[in-house]
Amino acid sequence: MKTYFIVFLIIGLLISQNLFADSPLTSTEISRAYKDSKIVQLASRSEGRLNIELMNYLNDSKKPIDLKIALINELGWGFDGQNNSLVFSEYLKRNNLKDINEASADVLICFAYLKALDNYFDVKEAIIYAQKAKSKNEKSYTINIICALIEAQKVLHNDWCEVYNLTNNLRMDDALIKDMKEEASEIIFEYMDLYKDDCETTATASLEQDDELTRKQIQSIQKLIDTFKTNNKAKIADLIDYPIKREYPLKDVKDKNDFIQRFDDIFDKELLDRVSKSKIDDWSIAGWEGGIMLDHGIIWIDENGKIVSINHMSPREEQLLANAIQADKDQLPKSLQNFDKPVYLIFTKNYKIRIDEQSGDSYRYAAWKIKNQKIEPEIILEKGVMEFQGTIGNHTITFNTSGYTYIVFIDVDTADATLEVVKQGKTLLTEEGKVKID
């Protein structure tokens, strides 16, 4: 399993709750600069939940974007997750916006910010919507800075210098329209500047190496850009390091032929234009292995110029994902069809185990004995809790029932899994297994 995929597709799951409580999304109290605003005051009395008056304000094109962001910030965040983005999405559908991708830049950034604060452990989807908002309004300082905060949340675990640079690059950008209070901006940088020292510490040690790498990387980047300008699927396919991960239960892109068949699903006009029209300055080095990324991780290439990760999902692929999730539900017994998305399918010596994510960042466990052909599972456990160990991404999902504790350990790099059943501190069962990747 590629390191880049691990870093950028599950990075929201990489750090413990205590660390994430001090982070770009949770420690930038923008609303403090707007305490005199009636809409922010209303948000402060709403107990962290969107109501119809707040959503009307967010959807009003005449209201200033910085106040919209301030009211969202005032709603806050929670360890157990929130569902304000879902509430807002349903509101938009009732107001005749069937596809969130067609929303205005203001609505998109509000939705992205809500989604990020709903679950700041996993901001991958929030970044997609934030970047779409930025593409629709490239000049708004507020939209750019919120997008940068969400992106910073994603790289928090492994590159504090990049966390700093994401917002610092906007600080003196005269091309941006300053549509946010100066006090609010100062609140953001009061926290984000804490990461500055990491840049200064590493700069001297890596200077000579960076200079040498830059020359090689520029050649790789330019070759990639030039190839994308041709819009030749076969030539672009030659620049892919297979397999390319896609979000489960979609199948990974296994080889060149598979890539060409699925090209239009993955590379929509937005992504093709972003790569073909990119400049060298849009690409940067990040990560433990010196990978090169575009737009803070929308695409990653290795030192040889091969694409190793694509962290963009087109509307077409989003629909394919929704269809795949529905198809997965349809083949299950009705007792298991109520979930948001599948997470893992694990096979041990004696058990087939399925773990699904339910609403509110809660997980469900269902297991069948391998030798038993029953459709209904032997056991169903709910309200599972995911916890992380270290910064690599390995984690456990724990379920408690009637004095028993079921613990599933996942090694994200090897796809190894371990099932452990404990009662009153005594281990009753331990079985090694594998996560089914494709």
Angle at 350 between CA 346 and CA 351, to 5 degrees: 35
Q: Of 296, 301, 9, 300, which Cα lies nearest the Cα of 159?
A: 296
User: Does residue 258 lie within any of the structural domains?
Assistant: no
Q: Of 221, 392, 211, 341, which Cα lies nearest the Cα of 293?
A: 221
C-alpha distances (whole Å) from 2 to each of 57, 244, 254, 280, 321 are 43, 9, 13, 25, 21
In degrees and rounded to multiples of 5, residue 244 shows phi and psi of -105, 125
| Structure confidence at residue 217 (pLDDT) | 81
Tokens (6 digits) for 256: 């060149």
Nearest-angstrom CA–CA distance, 184 and 190: 10
User: Does residue 38 lie within any of the structural domains?
Assistant: yes
| Angle formed by the axes of helices 160-171 and 182-192, nearest 10° | 160
User: Does residue 49 lie within any of the structural domains?
Assistant: yes
User: Does residue 297 lie within any of the structural domains?
Assistant: no
| Structure confidence at residue 308 (pLDDT) | 92
> Measured in whole angstroms, how far is the alpha carbon of residue 50 from the centre of its chain?
22
User: Does residue 46 lie within any of the structural domains?
Assistant: yes
Residue 213 DSSP code: H
- Domain residues for the domain of 36 are 3-197
C-alpha distances (whole Å) from 211 to each of 196, 217, 279, 287 are 21, 10, 18, 17
Q: Which amino acid is at 290?
A: G
The neighbour count for residue 4, using CB atoms within 10 Å, is: 24
| Angle formed by the axes of helices 105-118 and 65-75, nearest 10° | 10
Contact 278, 294 (CB under 8 A): yes
Residue with tokens 């509101």: 91
C-alpha distances (whole Å) from 294 to each of 155, 191, 302, 425 are 14, 25, 12, 48
Contact 304, 239 (CB under 8 A): no
List of long-range contacts for 247-251, beta carbons under 8 Å, 24+ apart = 247/9, 247/313, 247/321, 248/341, 248/342, 248/343, 249/321, 249/324, 249/325, 249/328, 249/342, 250/317, 250/320, 250/321, 250/324, 251/438
Residue ranges of alpha helices (H) inside 137-251 are 141-155, 160-171, 182-192, 196-230, 233-237
Helix (H) or strand (E) holding 266: helix 256-266
Question: Can you spell out the DSSP letters for 217-234?
Answer: HHHHHHHHHHHHHHT-HH
pLDDT in tens, the chain (438 residues): 444 444 444 444 433 334 444 789 989 999 999 999 999 999 999 999 999 999 999 999 999 999 999 999 999 986 455 689 999 999 999 998 888 888 999 999 999 999 999 988 889 899 999 999 999 999 999 999 999 999 999 888 778 888 998 999 898 788 899 999 999 999 999 999 998 887 755 444 443 444 345 677 888 888 999 999 999 999 999 999 999 989 889 999 999 999 999 999 999 999 999 999 998 888 887 754 567 888 878 999 987 889 999 989 999 999 999 999 999 999 999 999 999 999 999 999 999 999 999 987 799 999 999 887 678 999 999 999 988 765 456 889 999 999 999 999 998 778 899 999 999 889 999 999 999 865
Number of domains in the chain: 2
Pairing state between β 341-348 and 307-310? unpaired
| The domain boundary residue, chosen from 197, 227, 253 | 197
Q: Which amino acid is at 395?
A: H
| Structure confidence at residue 397 (pLDDT) | 95
Q: Is 323 helix (H, G, I), strand (E, B) or coil?
A: helix
| The domain boundary residue, chosen from 143, 175, 197 | 197
| The domain boundary residue, chosen from 197, 220, 254 | 197
Nearest-angstrom CA–CA distance, 206 and 192: 23
| Structure confidence at residue 197 (pLDDT) | 82
Question: Can you spell out the DSSP letters for 83-137?
Answer: -HHHHHHHHHHHTT---GGGS-HHHHHHHHHHHHHH-TT--HHHHHHHHHHHHH-
User: Does residue 236 lie within any of the structural domains?
Assistant: no
Same domain, 158 and 13: yes
In this structure, the chain runs to a length of 438
The CATH number that applies at residue 338 is 2.40.128
Q: Is 303 helix (H, G, I), strand (E, B) or coil?
A: coil
CA distance between the termini of the chain: 12
Nearest-angstrom CA–CA distance, 14 and 389: 8
Contact 336, 318 (CB under 8 A): no
For the sheet containing 307-310, what is the strand order? Answer: 283-286, 291-294, 299-301, 307-310
User: Does residue 265 lie within any of the structural domains?
Assistant: no
Nearest-angstrom CA–CA distance, 24 and 264: 34
pTM for the whole thing?
Answer: 0.52
